[in-house]
């Protein structure tokens, strides 16, 4: 009785093992699928194979062409020496195959002229044809360029292209007080309290670079009419808020509030024409004071 039971158990274990093996085999392709997806698909493989075959074919054709030219060089030379062929355009191209570079270097080379000065002889060399053709191309290109960009005005010049790119870039940045492409429309503060606060902020944060009297040290002089990034109140406000990292100007956004930035801006502009001692030479473009305008700053 025990033998049949053992045989039955052995059969069940064998069947279970086969079943688990089948399940594992069935899951293997699924597990391998992501790895296959990470590689190239059939179309990509076919593309690279065809590209490789095309490269090999072009190389073979090039080698065959060179071999044919080398084998037929005597016959090509005889054809090139014919008067009806030698002076033609196709004959000059043929000359390149037989070793005559006239098409590239010109007809005359190191031709000695019949006069000299104090033993100094002069040679007459042709300009290389490729240079003359290139010069003619630049003339044609200049007429096309002027006609397209300046006469018909269908093409954008550098300034217009820059403005277009800036407008496209502005679409990617949310408009608002933190948009560096948008200028504010604030008025300069003129009250004694605001200017006093601006003076304190300037002495603490700005004087090390611009000088105690804004005469300029590492940074530019702020008391003259010359400005690197605009001298109108909103341009100065923008410069202080967002900084000019490429020139070492720190961005004070997040360190000073909007009201504090406008206060120090107004104080700096109040120093215009103060003529401090040891003032740094002018930098940037001369800019006249802007007309009054803007909005109140109660929201800052």
- Let me know if residue 54 belongs to a domain: no
Q: Are 262 and 201 in contact (CB under 8 A)?
A: no
Q: What is the CATH number of the domain that holds 268?
A: 1.10.760.10
- Let me know if residue 112 belongs to a domain: no
- pLDDT at residue 14 is higher than 70: no
Of 100, 116, 150, which residue is a domain's last?
A: 100
Interatomic CA distance for residues 288 and 300, integer angstroms: 27
Work out how many domains the chain is built from and give that number. Answer: 2
Of 84, 100, 116, which residue is a domain's last?
A: 100
- Let me know if residue 26 belongs to a domain: no
- Let me know if residue 55 belongs to a domain: no
pLDDT tens-place string over residues 251-292: 999 899 999 999 999 999 999 999 999 899 999 888 865 444
- pLDDT at residue 217 is higher than 60: yes
- Let me know if residue 216 belongs to a domain: yes
pLDDT tens-place string over residues 116-164: 777 777 777 777 778 888 999 999 999 999 999 999 988 888 888 888 8
- Let me know if residue 88 belongs to a domain: yes
Handedness of CA 231, 237, 242, 245 (dihedral sign): positive
Of 54, 82, 100, which residue is a domain's last?
A: 100
DSSP letters along 158-225, please? HHHHHHHHHHHHHTTS--STT-TTS---BPPP-SHHHHHHHHHHHHHHTHHHH-TTS--SSSPPSSSS
- Let me know if residue 300 belongs to a domain: no
Average pLDDT, the chain: 79
Range of the domain at 94: 71-100
Q: What pLDDT band is residue 108 in, cutting at 50, 70 and 90?
A: low
DSSP code for 246: G
- Let me know if residue 152 belongs to a domain: no
């Amino acid at each position: 009785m025990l033998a049949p039971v053992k045989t039955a158990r052995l059969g069940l274990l064998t069947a279970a093992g086969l079943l688990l093996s089948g399940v594992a085999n069935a899951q293997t392709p699924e597990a391998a699928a992501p790895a296959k997806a990470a590689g190239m698909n059939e179309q990509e493989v076919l593309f690279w194979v065809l590209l490789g075959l095309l490269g090999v074919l072009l190389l073979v054709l090039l080698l065959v062409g060179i071999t044919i030219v080398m084998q037929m060089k005597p016959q090509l030379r005889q054809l090139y020496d014919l008067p009806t062929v030698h002076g033609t355009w196709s004959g000059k191209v043929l000359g390149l195959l037989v070793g005559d570079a006239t098409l590239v270097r010109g007809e005359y080379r190191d031709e000695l002229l019949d006069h000299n000065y104090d033993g100094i002889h002069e040679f007459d060399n042709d300009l290389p044809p490729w240079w003359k053709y290139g010069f003619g191309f630049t003339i044609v290109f200049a007429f096309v360029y002027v006609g397209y960009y300046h006469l018909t005005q269908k093409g954008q010049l550098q300034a217009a292209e820059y403005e277009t790119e800036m407008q496209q870039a502005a679409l990617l940045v949310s408009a608002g007080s933190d948009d560096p492409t948008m200028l504010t429309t604030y008025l300069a503060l003129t009250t004694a309290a605001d200017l006093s606060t601006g003076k304190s902020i300037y002495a603490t944060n700005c004087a090390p670079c611009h000088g105690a009297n804004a005469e300029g040290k590492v940074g530019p002089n702020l008391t003259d009419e010359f400005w690197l990034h605009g001298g109108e109140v909103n341009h100065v406000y923008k410069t202080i808020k967002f900084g000019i990292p490429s020139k070492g100007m720190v961005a004070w956004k997040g360190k000073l509030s909007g009201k504090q930035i406008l206060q120090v801006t107004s104080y700096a502009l109040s120093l215009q024409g103060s003529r401090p001692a040891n003032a740094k030479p002018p930098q940037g473009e001369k800019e006249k004071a802007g007309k009054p305008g803007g909005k109140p700053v109660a929201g800052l």
